[in-house]
Amino acid sequence: MADPTLYRSIVGALQYVSLTRPDVSFSVNRVFQFMHAPTEDDWALVKRILRYLKQTQSHGLLFGRSATPFMLQAFSDANWARNGDDRKSTGGYAIYLGSNLIPLSSQKQRTIARSSTESKYKALADAVLEIGVRVSLS
């Protein structure tokens, strides 16, 4: 892009949107990685995210009273060596307190996993660590 100012401004705003719209957090993370030198293809992806957000304005995280029991549940998953550049896996987790989603994370794992099982264990370990941090803070 000749002038990446608009790209950087919109992607920065999308980071704040992803706090209440975890369905776009992975996509926003991907376009954020090209902030230093965005291309026209990267700009097309940003516009696609914006069109998706426009069509799904009623979606988002809602926090409220839960009819389900006050229970802590965690879900994690990972894909093995998905990134062809560095062979790192992407892992993620979602933690629910009752029916409310509290933290959600999706990020590249710090080390290279040798198997899909190892990448899934690393994602699980990150989720357990997050639960430990949340419990120790309360």
Domain extents for the chain? 5-55, 72-137
Q: Which CATH number fits domain 72-137: 1.10.3470, 3.30.70, 3.30.420, 3.30.160?
A: 3.30.160
Q: Is residue 123 a contact partner of residue 92, using CB atoms and an 8 Å limit?
A: yes
pLDDT digits (tens, 9 = 90+) for 44-99: 999 999 999 999 988 776 666 666 667 888 899 888 876 667 788 888 888 887 77
What's the predicted TM-score (pTM) here?
Answer: 0.54
Query: b/e map of 77-107 (b: 16 or more CB within 10 Å)?
Result: ebebbeeeeeebbbbbbbbbbbeeebbbbbe
- What is the amino acid identity at position 23? D
Q: Which two tokens stand for residue 16?
A: 């704040």
Rg, Å, the chain Cα set:
17
The pLDDT of residue 45 is: 94
